[in-house]
Every structure is written in structure tokens, then in C-alpha cells.
Amino acid sequence: MAKIAFIGLGNMGEPMAVNLIKAGHILNIFDLVDAPLKRLEKIGASICLNAKQSVENVDFVISMLPAGKHVEGLYLGEEGLLNYISKETLVIDCSTIDVSTTKKLSFEAINKGISMLDAPVSGGVNGAIAGTLSFMVGSSKEMFTLVETLLQDMGQNIFHAGNAGSGQMAKACNNMLLGILMAGTSEALQLGIANGLDPKVLSEIMIKSSSRNWTLEVYNPCPDVLENVPSSNNYEGGFALDLMLKDMNLAMKASIESNSPTPLGAISRNLYSQYSNEGNGGKDFSNIFNLFSQN
């Protein structure tokens, strides 16, 4: 059992915190929104007035925030937590942010004698609720050993990707490919539909053939091919298209910084950007399927 400060209780952070409480950990919680704080208080968490208060006398700090600017502000801002966190406390940032900001935070933490690692997740809201997330950890091997058991209380697959920033880089690569696969799968299905094929039959053919992929088999973008996926629920729930666009932009930033060509990633990012600009950013990212429709 550990005492944990959990900061950031959005769609992902709240169920992650719930699973930590279920595992027997003691949680100090902070968020700018009252509703998740009150829900977690009912199951045993302690609400804190501010982030600074939440990190007092804890073993771990876990942050789950929307973007790099929020994470940097939390730890390095005017009231930056790195000024208040104990050297005995281990900091885990589970946000999905750019690699350069992650490395900057790690460098500043080291200068203050604080251990900080990046551990972005994959698996979506359903994975967060079920406790089956995948964690991609950027840290030393020694730090990874210290957090692996704790992360297993929120996830199923815990990977040590490498040193600081490696977790974010692995997440960027994963989600760039996922975005490419979803766009490509949608394009292929719409081509089949336009030429008279039943999308269920076509999906089954491709699943049993060389184009088999996760988006076809588990998260099909065509409505009514699979049950209990966003495409069969008017693209509600799941992983918002704007969040996929954010992650693909992070991959493109890493591509530029490392001078690594990603032409398919760039084309796919532009397609998501176009569809978001048409007002579809709040729907699940599989809604990119409709960009390729004849209608």
C-alpha cells in the first residue's frame, strides 16, 4: 500500500485513480473540476485544496493532464511542484506530451534530486476503467523496478521503453501508426462499399487475409459491423478525433526534431486535421471513415 498524490481526474485519470483506491492505496487528489473529486471522495480519496497540498508526505505523485503546457506549468510554473516534492517521492507523469518537454522536466527534476519518469498509456477510457492499460515507461531500469508493481494496479502491460522521454516516443510511434491504420482501413472499406461490397463481408475477408489489423478486428470504423464500438453508436465515446490529431501532431514534432521522414504520418495527420476543421473533432477518431464517403 502506498500514499499517492493523483493530479488530473479527466476521462482517463478518474478511472485510473479508482483502480488505485480499489487496490488499497491511499490517495490525495486534486483537479480543477469538482465532480470527479466528489465521486472519488465517496470511495475514500482525500480532496486537496491545491496541487501543492496534495504532494505532502506521499510516496508517489501521478499526473494525468491534457498537454505539455499543463504538465510544465504544474511542475515548473510559478508554484511548480518540483519546489515542494520530497526527494523520497517518485514522480510519474502519465500524460501524453512531447518528448522535448518530458526531457526538460526530467532534467529539472534531477537537478533538484527528484526521480521523475514518463509513463504515457494506451488503451483508452475502457482500458482505464477495466485496469487493462498499457504503460510505456521512460526511466532508468532501477526506477522502472520501483514503479512496475504500482502501474500493474492500473494496467495489464507494463513496458520499459528506455530512458527519460522513451515512453513518450513509444506512445507517439504507436498512435501515429494507429492513425494511419484507421485512415487506411476506412479508405479501403469505403472503396468496397462504393463498389457494391457488404462491409461486414469485406471486413471478414480482410481480417482473414494479409491486411488484417486491429482497427478492422477490434474497432471497426464502419457502423454496424461490430457491436459495442463507437462507430455503431454514432461515433460517441471512445477516443476523440481531436485527441488523435493531438497525438499525431506530437509524432510530427518528433519527426522534425529527429529529421526522420514520416510521409504517411504527415498525410494522415492532414486528413484528421481537415475533418476536425469540418466540425468532427469531438467524435471518436474512427469517424474519419466518413471523410471517404461518396455522400
Q: Which residues are catalytic?
A: 171
Strand 133-138 and strand 121-122: pairing?
antiparallel
> 150 with 172: CB under 8 angstroms?
no
**7: nearest Cα among 28, 22, 23, 21:** 28
| Residue 152, φ and ψ in degrees, nearest 5 | -65, -20
Name the residue type at position 13.
G
**Long-range contacts from 103-107, C-beta under 8 angstroms, 24+ separation:** 103/164, 103/165, 104/72, 104/76, 105/71, 105/72, 105/75, 105/76, 106/164, 106/165
| Residue position matching grid coordinates 506530451 | 97
Largest CA-CA distance found in the chain, in angstroms, rounded: 64
CB within 8 A of 234, min separation 6: which ones?
283
Dihedral sign for Cα 92, 97, 99, 103, please. negative
| Residue position matching grid coordinates 526538460 | 104
> 121 with 243: CB under 8 angstroms?
no
Q: How far apart are CA 106 and CA 176, in angstroms?
A: 24
